[in-house]
Structure 1
Amino acid sequence: MFDSSSPTLKLQFAGATDVGLRRENNEDAWWAGSLADLAKEPLVEATGAGEFSAGLWLGVCDGLGGANAGEVASRIALTETQGTLATAPRGKVDETLAREALDKANTAVLRASRSNPEWAGMGATISFVWVEGGTAMLGQVGDSRIYRWRESWLEELSVDHSPVGRLRQAGHLSESDARRHPSRHVIDQCLGGGDPGLLPDCSRIDLVPGDVLLLCTDGLTDGVSDAEIATILAAAAEEERTLPETVAELIKQANRLSGRDNVTVIVARCVAE
């Protein structure tokens, strides 16, 4: 096993967001980069790289609430979660701190929703990966997703916080049936949403050289199957396609096969240098 505490273990990443074909407003938000920096605003399109030892954070959010409220909620969820981790002492990933970051984000979204009648009930999903000191942690609230491609195998690391998602992951619904289910967009966990209770998933994940991570909102998985995602990520793992090209291809396929929703994608490759 590769010693993941080596300072030469890095993540290379690229990400982008697209409004899709049917929406007028983009309520997704994403950010990726060093925890030496604050995510003051979501990114639109960017690439970068960083060492594990320095602290890295990658995250996507999908806003809920209609009008501009979803956009507000996703931005708050992103900046509050990343900000809590960015201003903490550097060292290693910590589950307690990850949950604290999500709790603070939840409180911030709830507070903002109560400050403006037009934002009442707004919320956001979040899926993030926090890497530090040779260890990685996943954080999840809602139905955005995190996948890992490793040695010709695509694994869904996150768990959908939705009735349909749990049926699919338990094998009671096929992927295609879940995609067509009338309740496919109903979720029972989000940041904000008028419910002060929060039960996020926070768990350690392992990363080794050659792994490719995908973080995405449901605008991608609404149309693109896991098999199609696997084919696209395999090309990135073999460096047959650059990371920005991989992101662009995933978004292109999402719009070709669905286009009903905003789509946001981050692809990251673990390398040893």
Structure 2
Amino acid sequence: MKTLVAATSRLGNRSSNQDRCLVEKKPGHVLLVVADGMGGHARGDLAAQTTIDSLARSFQRASLPVSDPQAFLKQAIHTAHLDVVDTGRSHNPPITPRTTCVVCLVQNDTAYWAHVGDSRLYLLRAGELFKRTRDHTPVEELFQSGLVSEEELRNHPLRNSVNRCLGGSPRFPEISFDQEILAAEDILLLCSDGLWSAVPESLLVSIQGPGELEQSLSQLAGEAESASYPNSDNISGVVLRWLAADRSFSATGQDGTAPDMPVAESTENKDELEQAIEDIHRAMLEYASEMKK
């Protein structure tokens, strides 16, 4: 698999950076993540870091190629959610940190992504916006209903209010999923709202122009920081330029041969066990929460 990847995370005009980025690579596979710790709740940075660490562990443990990418993303995000809840409960004194999250798995010639909250993924193709995630916010719902414009969405008083996040209640958040077969020179941009809310869409699209990817991302982040000065949020982004697939990583196995055990059967058994463990873990957290009332 041939790709170019770059990442950046800036403090902006904040006292601390609560954004976290992740780029994890394994032969024929890349996992990209941006997590934005939520202000107004204690230790958003802890929630974002816990999410990044949890997703990295899930990716490192995964059997490749992933036979069911959406199921993998769902399981990984659920695990990260419980890890954030558990980390908050273990804190002294207990806290309820929260974070948004967008994660993308690239394997073969396809990108699979999922998100919770208002951290976004943009798919850019041939100089234009091809797809983007839809925020889990009241303002996004207004935009989708045609009641506010894209520009009004960026400046709406409720633009920082999100309906879903990782952390807080042990109950799993609803996750949005999507996927797309990649074409040569496609760009995947994952970013926090500190980036996308500060610059017009036309500037985001310009990142797929000629030049070094890292330089283009850094320039875009700088534009966002200047545009929102002196109230700049943390600004973070991960960008991937797709060049070509590695066909040796097929659905039959990493080297093109069939694995010793059927992938589907092995994954199904693993998912059932992990789901049972998650259910027990969640029940224990909910019980502990009730006992503290």
Specify the TM-score bucket, using the shorter chain as the normaliser: 0.7 to 0.9
Length-normalised TM-score, structure 2: 0.77
Q: Which residue of 151, 173, 176 maps to 2:151? A: 176
Query: Corresponding residue for 2:108?
Result: 133
Alpha-carbon distance in structure 1 between the residues aligned to 2:93 and 2:196: 29
Q: Which moved more, 1:254-263 or 1:151-160?
A: 151-160
Length-normalised TM-score, structure 1: 0.83
* 1:124/1:193 contact within 8 Å kept: no
What is the root-mean-square deviation in Å for CA atoms of aligned residues?
A: 1.9
Alpha-carbon distance in structure 1 between the residues aligned to 2:69 and 2:143: 30
Give the drift of 1:160: 0.5
- Greater Rg, structure 1 or structure 2? 2
Alignment-mate amino acid for residue 265 of structure 1:
G
Deviation per residue, 1:101-142 (Å, 9 max, x gap): 010000000111112255622111111110123332101111
Q: Which moved more, 1:186-195 or 1:217-226?
A: 186-195
Bigger share in helix: 2
* 2:194/2:234 contact within 8 Å kept: yes
Give the drift of 1:158: 1.1
Alignment-mate amino acid for residue 28 of structure 1:
D
Equivalent residue runs for 1:50-129 within 5 Å = 54-65=28-39, 69-92=43-66, 93-116=68-91, 120-129=95-104
Q: Does 1:165 align with 2:140?
A: yes
Q: Does 1:271 align with 2:243?
A: yes
3-state SS of paired residue (1:252): helix
Query: Percent of counterpart pairs with the same letter?
Result: 28
Alpha-carbon distance in structure 1 between the residues aligned to 2:42 and 2:20: 13
* 1:145/1:156 contact within 8 Å kept: no
Q: Does 1:252 align with 2:240?
A: no
Change (3 A) 1:84 1:234: closer
Change (3 A) 1:20 1:156: farther
Change (3 A) 1:246 1:68: farther
Unmatched segments (≥5 aa) in structure 1 = 1-8, 37-52
Q: Does 1:33 align with 2:24?
A: yes
Q: Does 1:219 align with 2:219?
A: no
Query: Corresponding residue for 1:48?
Result: none
3-state SS of paired residue (2:101): strand
Give the drift of 1:184: 0.6
Give the drift of 1:189: 0.7
Change (3 A) 1:229 1:156: same
Give the drift of 1:165: 1.7
Report the number of matched residues: 242
3-state SS of paired residue (2:7): strand
Query: Corresponding residue for 1:13?
Result: 5
Give the drift of 1:265: 1.2
Alignment-mate amino acid for residue 133 of structure 1:
N
Q: Which moved more, 1:149-158 or 1:213-222?
A: 149-158
Give the drift of 1:24: 0.7
Give the drift of 1:195: 5.1
* 1:28/1:74 contact within 8 Å kept: yes
